[in-house]
């Protein structure tokens, strides 16, 4: 779109300046003024343009000194020009509403409603400094969207999810989602990372933890962990808290979802007692998307005693699938009730924007540019991924003597394949920079066994050497867990590309981590093997399976070396595009 068209399009929505400077009105008075103005408009502004002009002229003549709000000026200006807008301008407005869904509901509301009333962005949004954000790779944008579990600072305190006085200032991330925007292809995709994914440096000082615990040390640490462990560059950050979510749902009058059967979660306090379409207010909606210990009542069970209801066995994967479906329903409801309804829009603005936190670099001009570049996106075809994981056996996971509760492990080579597909990059490039990975002959790798199985390090070292990697120290370490062990690919600062080149040749439960202290001088990478570690070799076939866990992948690989001990007891890797279960709610059809 050329600059002339851009000016004409957005000029439609900018406020008319007052004849004289007027003091700013409160949000309550703006809403009262907006409701009064709406009730005074002619019933149909499209039938008679002369009637419309007469209405505005008479009001201007009689009320030149009226203290009008910015919303009043903006709405009057838009209504006056609405009939004169060419059809292609109207269609662009409709496309703008459709694009919201593909960016995620939270980001959508911020952008869609914020653009509609552009003056609100600077006044209501909270901006903070976030370290570690990178420049875009090949012109693409990755926006990290985090749902904060903080209770402190919330206007609505509830015992159902813990008061600030009960849980303190602890803050984790309920939702970790990345929106990938590619301006050259005008495509949008979403990737969710399960919050229980166990990573070696979730917190500073190389502390192993679940990925959701990174937010406890702030957004910068969460960005750092995702970039260092998964090789996904992050350009911008958006965070929403409980208040923002609850108030947004309430601002549109709630939403309706169809529950195939009664469901219950003792931890999130979700309690749906009947099947069929159900009205959800903000509190109930929050209970739904936080439910990770869901029980359901199939037709074969007649008792209402929850002790006899089965549990779903999907860890965080089931919750993520329900969240994706809920977001689609919420976005659809907002499009129907808001974005074109100024009264609803004002409620949404007042509800969500004050509870959003974004990085200081995510300025208004960048938001405007993203909207302009993605106004033609087809939201129906926008792919949504969930990073595949496997659940280790034997219940609560102990690592270095610490109980981490329920955890999940990443799965290779599936995860690297999904990340490459999500980012639109081939397998032979560094996902952080988009540049080609270094050749194996330029990389020296130390290999140590961390599983407690003698000879495993020598097997893995031999497999990597056959692919062209130089091998340094080979030996054994004391296992850090007696249950199961991830395979860690440690690297020095500046050697992320070398670590990624190694990690992409390994199978099993593999994760990268920046830790220069783990890598001895003379090597760029240290591999500490874990449960069911294997090495891949390129072959001519187009697909294969990981022999230790029968993991299908689109990579042209086959396992040539496997661990001496298979990963008995692990769950099968989850599907990257997990569907809804028979007990999950969906959009109502009526």
Spatial distance between the Cα atoms of 227 and 224, rounded to a whole number of angstroms: 5
Spatial distance between the Cα atoms of 57 and 71, rounded to a whole number of angstroms: 18
Main-chain phi, psi angles of 526, to 5 degrees? -120, 125
Of 9-23, 168-182, 429-443, 472-486, minimum mean pLDDT range: 9-23
For residue 421, what are the contacts with CB-CB under 8 A and spacing of at least 6? Answer: 385, 554
Of 151-160, 290-299, 503-512, minimum mean pLDDT range: 151-160
Say if CB 511 and CB 427 are below 8 A apart.
no
pLDDT confidence of 125, banded at 50, 70, 90? Answer: confident
Q: Report pLDDT for 554.
A: 38
The model's pLDDT over 47-60, given as tens digits with 9 standing for 90+, comes to: 344 443 343 333 43
564's tokens: 């001496």
Helices (H) and strands (E) in the chain, counts: 17, 29
DSSP 371: H
This prediction's pTM: 0.73
47's tokens: 């039938």
Spatial distance between the Cα atoms of 545 and 567, rounded to a whole number of angstroms: 15
pLDDT confidence of 568, banded at 50, 70, 90? Answer: low
Spatial distance between the Cα atoms of 146 and 124, rounded to a whole number of angstroms: 19
Spatial distance between the Cα atoms of 98 and 355, rounded to a whole number of angstroms: 23
Q: Report pLDDT for 395.
A: 77
Q: Report pLDDT for 534.
A: 93
Q: How far is CA 150 from the centre of its chain?
A: 17
**More reliable by pLDDT, 482 or 37:** 482
Sign of the alpha-carbon dihedral angle for 460, 465, 469, 474: positive
Segment 533-552 mean pLDDT:
50
Q: Collapse the DSSP code of 47 into the 3-class scheme (helix H, G, I; strand E, B; otherwise coil) and give the result.
A: coil
Say if CB 572 and CB 563 are below 8 A apart.
no
How would you classify the pairing of strands 444-449 and 470-476?
parallel
Spatial distance between the Cα atoms of 73 and 69, rounded to a whole number of angstroms: 7
Q: Report pLDDT for 354.
A: 75
Segment 22-46 mean pLDDT:
50
- What is the DSSP secondary-structure string of 528-577? EE-TT-EEEEE-SSS-EEETTTTEEESSSEEEEE--SS--TTPPPPPPTT
160-168's contacts with Cβ under 8 Å and 24+ in sequence apart are 160/268, 160/269, 160/283, 160/287, 161/242, 161/268, 161/269, 161/286, 161/290
Of 80-84, 119-123, 337-341, 544-548, minimum mean pLDDT range: 544-548
User: Taking Cα atoms as reference points, which of 96, 36, 44 lies closest to residue 368?
Assistant: 96
Q: Specify which of 143-157, 316-330, 463-477 reaches the highest per-range mean pLDDT.
A: 463-477
Q: Collapse the DSSP code of 176 into the 3-class scheme (helix H, G, I; strand E, B; otherwise coil) and give the result.
A: strand
DSSP 248: H
All structural domains of the chain: 3-85 (no CATH), 105-246+321-390 (3.40.630.190), 251-320 (no CATH), 411-561 (no CATH)
pLDDT confidence of 186, banded at 50, 70, 90? Answer: confident
Q: For residue 471, with 0-12 CB atoms within 10 Å meaning exposed, 13-18 middle and 19 or more buried, which class applies?
A: middle
Q: Collapse the DSSP code of 107 into the 3-class scheme (helix H, G, I; strand E, B; otherwise coil) and give the result.
A: helix
Spatial distance between the Cα atoms of 487 and 508, rounded to a whole number of angstroms: 7
Number of Cβ within 10 Å of residue 181's Cβ equals 23
Q: Report pLDDT for 507.
A: 94
Query: Would you call the peptide bond into 226 cis, given omega within 30 degrees of 0 as the criterion?
Result: no
Spatial distance between the Cα atoms of 464 and 348, rounded to a whole number of angstroms: 55
């Amino acid at each position: 779109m050329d600059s002339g068209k851009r000016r004409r399009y957005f000029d439609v929505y900018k406020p008319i300046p007052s004849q004289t400077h007027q003091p700013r009105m409160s949000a309550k008075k703006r809403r009262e003024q907006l409701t009064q103005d709406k009730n005074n408009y002619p019933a149909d502004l499209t039938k008679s343009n002369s009637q419309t002009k007469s209405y505005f002229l008479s009001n201007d003549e009689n009320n030149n000194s009226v203290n009008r709000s910015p919303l009043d000026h903006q709405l009057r200006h838009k209504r006056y020009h609405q009939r004169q807008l060419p059809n292609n301008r109207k269609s662009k407005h409709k496309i703008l509403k459709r694009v919201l869904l593909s960016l995620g509901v939270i980001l959508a509301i911020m952008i869609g409603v914020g653009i509609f009333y552009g003056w609100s962005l600077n006044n209501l949004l909270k901006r903070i400094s976030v370290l570690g954000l990178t420049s875009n790779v090949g012109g693409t944008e990755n926006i990290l969207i985090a749902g904060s579990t903080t209770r402190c600072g919330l206007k609505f305190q509830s015992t159902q999810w813990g008061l600030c006085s009960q849980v303190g200032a602890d803050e984790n991330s309920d939702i970790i989602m990345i929106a990938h925007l590619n301006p050259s292809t005008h495509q949008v995709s979403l990737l969710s990372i399960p919050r229980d994914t166990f990573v070696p440096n979730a917190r500073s000082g190389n502390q192993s933890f679940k990925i959701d615990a990174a937010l406890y040390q702030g957004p910068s640490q969460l960005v750092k962990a995702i970039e260092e462990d998964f090789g996904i560059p992050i350009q911008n950050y958006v965070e929403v808290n409980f208040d923002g979510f609850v108030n947004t749902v309430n601002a549109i009058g709630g939403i309706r979802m169809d529950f195939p059967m009664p469901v219950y979660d003792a931890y999130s306090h979700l309690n749906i007692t009947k099947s069929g379409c159900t009205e959800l207010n903000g509190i109930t909606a929050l209970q739904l998307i936080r439910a990770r210990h869901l029980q359901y009542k199939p037709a074969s069970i007649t008792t209402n005693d929850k002790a006899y209801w089965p549990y779903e066995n999907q860890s965080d994967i089931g919750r993520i699938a329900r969240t994706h479906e809920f977001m689609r329903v919420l976005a659809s409801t907002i499009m129907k009730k808001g974005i074109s309804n100024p009264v609803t829009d004002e409620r949404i603005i007042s509800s969500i924007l004050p509870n959003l936190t974004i990085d200081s670099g995510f300025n208004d001009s960048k938001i405007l540019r993203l909207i302009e570049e993605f106004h033609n996106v087809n939201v129906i075809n926008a792919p949504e991924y969930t990073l595949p994981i496997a659940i280790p056996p034997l219940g609560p996971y102990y690592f270095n003597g610490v109980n981490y509760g329920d955890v999940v492990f990443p799965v290779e080579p599936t995860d690297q394949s999904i990340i490459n597909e999500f980012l639109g990059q081939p397998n032979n490039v560094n996902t952080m920079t988009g540049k080609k990975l270094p050749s194996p002959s330029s990389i020296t790798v130390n290999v140590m066994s961390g599983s407690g199985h003698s000879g495993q390090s020598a097997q893995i070292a031999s497999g990597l050497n056959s692919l062209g990697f130089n091998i340094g120290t080979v030996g054994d370490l004391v296992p850090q867990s007696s249950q199961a062990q991830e395979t860690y690919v440690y690297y020095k600062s500046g050697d992320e590309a070398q670590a990624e080149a190694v990690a992409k040749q390994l199978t099993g439960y593999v994760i990268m981590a920046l830790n220069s202290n783990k890598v001895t001088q003379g090597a760029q990478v240290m591999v500490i093997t874990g449960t069911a570690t294997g090495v891949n070799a390129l072959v001519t076939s187009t697909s294969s399976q990981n022999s230790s866990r029968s993991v299908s992948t689109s990579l042209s690989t086959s396992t040539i070396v496997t661990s001496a001990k298979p990963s008995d007891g692990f769950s099968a890797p989850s599907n990257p595009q997990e569907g809804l279960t028979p007990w999950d709610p969906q959009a109502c059809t009526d």
